[in-house]
Structures are given as C-alpha cells and as structure tokens.
Amino acid sequence: MPGQLITYRECIKQAIREALQADERVFIMGEDVGRYGGAFAVSKNLLQEFGPERIMDTPLSEAGFVGAGIGAALGGMRPIVEVMTVNFSLLALDQIANNAATLLHMSGGQFNVPLVIRMSSGVGRQLAAQHSHSWEPLFAHLPGLRILSVGTHEDARYMLAPALADPDPVIIFEYTSMLNLEKELPDSAESIEISKAKVRRAGKDISIITYGTGVYKALEAATELAAAGIDAEVVDLRVLRPLDEETIVASVAKTNRAFLVEDASRSVSVSSEVSARIMERCFYDLDAPVQRLCGAEVPIPYPKHLEDASVPQPAQIVTAIKTLLQHA
C-alpha cells in the first residue's frame, strides 16, 4: 500500500526513536550524536526528547565507546553504537573482532552480546578516499557477527527493531549517498526477517544479485531492461553474514543466469563469495557463466565524475546484461 514520501535519513531516525520509546534499555552512543544531532543529522533533536543518559556523546575514541557498548550489552542494556563512518571502525576493530564477535563462544555460551553497531558506509557525496569505503566484505568475514546492509527505505525504517532483539552482535551498514533520497514508505511494513534476502523484483530471464546502494541501481536497470524485453529479477542480499543461500539458489535455479553487483572492489568481495556458492550449488542450472560488476580497484577519488566512475551505475548494469544475453 502506498504511503508517505520520506527520506532514507528520516527512516533511520524514526527507527531509532521508536526503539528508544519501546525499551528503556535502549540507548544510543557515539561521536556527536547528542548536541550536534549526529554527523548526518540522523539523531537530531533526540537529545532534547530522551536526555543525555540515553543519547550519549562520546569522546573521539572508537575503541573506548565500542568497548563501553559491549560492556553495557553484557550488563543487560541494549546499546546502539554509532560509528560515524566505516573507516573509523578500524580503530575499534579489536573490540569488534576480538570481543563482541567472540565472547559467546569463549564463554561456552554463557555471555551473549546484544549490541547493535551502526556504520555509515559506501561511496558518494565526494567524501574522498579516507571516508568512502565499502568494507562490508571485511566484516562479513568475521564469525560471531550478523552483518546487515540497509539498501532500501523499508529496511532503514524497520530493520533496527529485530537487530536489537537479536541476542548477539549485529552490525548495520547504512549509506551516506542515500541519506537525502526520497521514496514512498508503506504505512505498515511486513515483519523484517534479518536472516533472509529479499526478492525486490520478480523476473525470469536473469538474477541481479546485489545489496546496499546496488539495490535501487539494479531496480532502475531492471526497469530499463524490461522496456527492451528482458525480465530481470532483483535479489537484495540484505544479510551479508550469514548469507541466505536458499533465496540465492532459488532465484538462479529459476532464471538460469546470475549477474552480481556491488560497490566494493572485486577482489575478495561479497560477490566473490556469492559467485562461489552459486557455482557450488547451481552449476548445472546455469545457462551462462556468473558475471560480476564491482567497484574499481582504486582508492575512491574526490572529483564527482571520477567517484561516479569508480562504482557500478545503472547504465553499466543494463549494457552488461544485454551483452550477457546477447540482446541487441
């Protein structure tokens, strides 16, 4: 059912506000989340509404406040830790990889870490090489974490609640390039499953498998392909760890072709893993080799035209799929 027109930013903000209202154990902490209203205005005015004990500005120490979030989670709270941009997450990687991800295992199942870490990620808005990383593959490699990618307004609005309900650590990747993008949000969404991929557009000729900023690009490309008589299915992975293999396999078994799209560079990427699993489970269903369209193997440039050229665009998806299908 059609709903209100809303920005991606506002979807995230509404999700956070709803979580704070629903559970007194929930609080948000991070750099500039309080008085400044968040580096990307996601938490604007929440300090006035909920107070400094639940909207907590932290020192510029990712290792310190991510560690504090882990401790709070162990103590029974439900923290939302905001890492301003994904590049800063390296400063907290020890806490994430060696503590949050491992404590359940190392305690023999005694200690869950119900922590949500939100990170702004991806390419766009001319943030240059040090602030334009797509490091989802890095975190998707780590056992003990659930990795979510928010590629639609629906997920931006409704994915946080089930993430907070998870007893184990969840990392949510949000995308700075989409913050001002407006879409219609249904008045009431179905329950979001943070263990499942989602078919965003059904089709029969080829499966476009993607996540994050690739989702709307793929849907735009699919619309153009439809005008050329190509019926493309668009699969939003959404959950990068653990991958929902069954949805991927079912889609490829139906269309017999797979085309993978992601902003992260090709080497050791999410698409590398998806491609391997398709070859392992769907080889005899394939009518053509799996193909990928990924980000360039370069630090992301600052100039807009070079930034755009460094990641897949809808026109490239269309051209590549027409070539794959040998369509004029």
Q: Which of 30, 11, 5, 270 is nearest to 159 (CA)?
A: 11
From residue 222, how far is each of 102, 213, 226, 262, 281 by CA, in Å? 41, 15, 6, 15, 25
Residue from 62, 154, 174, 307 carrying the catalytic annotation: 62
Q: How far apart are CA 37 and CA 12, in angstroms?
A: 13
Q: Work out whether strand 232-236 and strand 198-201 pair parallel, antiparallel, or are unpaired.
A: antiparallel
Residue from 10, 31, 82, 131 carrying the catalytic annotation: 131
Q: How far apart are CA 238 and CA 85, in angstroms?
A: 19
- For residue 211, how many C-alpha atoms fall within 13 Å in the half-sphere facing its CB? 29
Active site includes 62? yes
From residue 47, how far is each of 12, 53, 135, 160, 290 by CA, in Å? 16, 9, 30, 19, 48
- Quote the tokens at residue 34: 């309080």
Q: Which of 181, 185, 119 is nearest to 149 (CA)?
A: 119
CA angle 231, 236, 238 (to 5 degrees): 175
Quick check: 28 and 211 in contact, CB under 8 A? Answer: no
Active site includes 233? no
Catalytic residues: 62, 131
